[in-house]
Amino acid sequence: MLLMRSSILVGGQAVIEGVMMRVPGAYATAVRKNNGEIVFDYHPFESITTKNSFYGLPIIRGMIHLYESMRMGYQTLQWSADMNTPDAQQNKFLDSILSFLSILFAIGLFFGTPLLLADFIQKSTGGDGTIAFNIISGAIRIGLFLLYLVGISFLKDIHRLFQFHGAEHKTVYNFESGKEINISNASTFKKEHPRCGTSFVFIVMIVAIISFSIIDTILIHTMDIELNVIRRLLIHIPCIPLVAGLSYEVLKITARFQKYFIFKILAYPGLLLQRITTQNPDDQQLEIAIEALRCAFGDSLKDYQGKEFNADAIG
């Protein structure tokens, strides 16, 4: 009965002074400019996973969706920034350098630092277990991620971005409930959603502990490779797409069966984390999220209104 329920996949993300909404076949962004005008950016879109059966296979589809979402998210975020700073001079070379440095910073903070600290802790305590090493590095990675989120949440612009994130979630809930989509109804829903990217990132970190433990064990015992921090870094980073693919399947299962107790427990840490990454929006922010959804659906929105949906993951 659960699997027979109507299911449609709607999701999105917060951008600068706006919200992007993704629906089957398209995505659209609504942004409020400094003069109060609402502008839109609409794009037809069909995932490659629907065009090729191989790309739609479990795990592989997660890798594809990660790439598509990152690409879509970056372009949408850039467009929203351009709408609010129209006179800013763009330097593509400088932007590329800054993006590259940002990636290096993220790798150093969330991969290099945990591995270095885990290696130091194991050497200090005399331990050498592969599973223990990955548990320690995984715990440190989660801790750094939490500190990072808490730290940036105090920034005024980030707090406002988190409000738009909350507006996106409330609007998706409003749509899935079958109730008329408006500010009054959307405001009554929770700001935390089980399909959120924040929950996905948390699941990735948990799955990474298990995956990297298995990979390291195989390399040590079957290929007789001695692993140090540099080798682990060079091995773990290329495995990120695989970990993301596995995590995508976990997120789909957790979101689909979210009403069952065991899956509520699995989803709880991600929902708890969203207390940081989502904030309650005001009516103007909800208006933006609703307008983005309407633009993405276009005239077909009337075909879905009044029906309840239980989607498991975007894409």
Residue 156 is encoded by which pair of tokens? 């005024």
Is residue 92, in this structure, part of any structural domain at all?
Answer: no
pLDDT given for residue 265 in this prediction: 80
Is residue 162, in this structure, part of any structural domain at all?
Answer: yes
Instruction: For residue range 239-288, list pLDDT tens digits in order.
Output: 989 998 998 888 778 777 777 777 778 778 888 889 999 999 999 999 99
Q: What is the DSSP pairing of strand 38-44 with strand 18-23?
A: unpaired
Three-class HEC string of the chain: CCCCCCCCCCEEEEECCEEEEEECCEEEEEEECCCCCEEEEEEECCCHHHCCCCCCCCCHHHHHHHHHHHHHHHHHHHHHHHHHCCCCCCCHHHHHHHHHHHHHHHHHHHHHHHHHHHHHHHHHHCCCCHHHHHHHHHHHHHHHHHHHHHHHHCCHHHHHHHHHHHHHHHHHHHHHHCCCCCHHHHCCCCCCCCCCHHHHHHHHHHHHHHHHHHHHHHHHHHCCCCCCHHHHHHHHHHHHHHHHHHHHHHHHHHHHCCCCHHHHHHHHHHHHHHHHHCCCCCHHHHHHHHHHHHHHHHHHHHHCCCCCCCCCCCC
Instruction: For residue range 127-165, list pLDDT tens digits in order.
Output: 778 889 999 999 999 999 999 999 999 999 999 999 999
Q: State how many domains the chain has.
A: 1
Q: Which domain holds residue 22?
A: 11-86+98-303
Is residue 314, in this structure, part of any structural domain at all?
Answer: no
At 218, the amino acid letter reads I
pLDDT given for residue 90 in this prediction: 65
Instruction: For residue range 219-234, list pLDDT tens digits in order.
Output: 888 877 788 889 999 9
283 or 48, greater pLDDT: 283
CB 149 within 8 A of CB 276: yes
Is residue 308, in this structure, part of any structural domain at all?
Answer: no
End-to-end alpha-carbon separation of the chain, Å? 22
pLDDT given for residue 21 in this prediction: 94
Is residue 315, in this structure, part of any structural domain at all?
Answer: no
pLDDT given for residue 13 in this prediction: 92
Is residue 251, in this structure, part of any structural domain at all?
Answer: yes
Instruction: Name, of 10-19, 76-85, 187-196, 248-257, the range with top average pLDDT.
Output: 10-19
Q: What are the beta bridge partners of residue 43?
A: 27
| Alpha-carbon separation of residue 198 from 5, 63, 110, 168, 300 (angstroms) | 26, 17, 15, 13, 29
Is residue 240, in this structure, part of any structural domain at all?
Answer: yes
**What's the Rg (C-alpha) of the chain?**
21
Is residue 8 pLDDT above 80, yes or no? no
Between CA 197 and CA 206, with CA 202 as vertex, the angle to 5 degrees is 140
CB 23 within 8 A of CB 285: no
Is residue 28 pLDDT above 90, yes or no? yes
> Going by C-beta distance under 8 Å and a sequence separation of 6 or more, which residues neighbour residue 104?
none
Residue located via tokens 């103007």: 284
Is residue 125, in this structure, part of any structural domain at all?
Answer: yes
Beta-carbon count within 10 A of 304 CB: 18
Instruction: For residue range 76-124, list pLDDT tens digits in order.
Output: 988 998 888 766 566 677 777 888 888 888 888 888 999 999 999 998 8
Is residue 294 pLDDT above 50, yes or no? yes
pLDDT given for residue 312 in this prediction: 54
pLDDT given for residue 116 in this prediction: 93
pLDDT given for residue 4 in this prediction: 31
**pTM of structure:** 0.85
Is residue 6 pLDDT above 70, yes or no? no
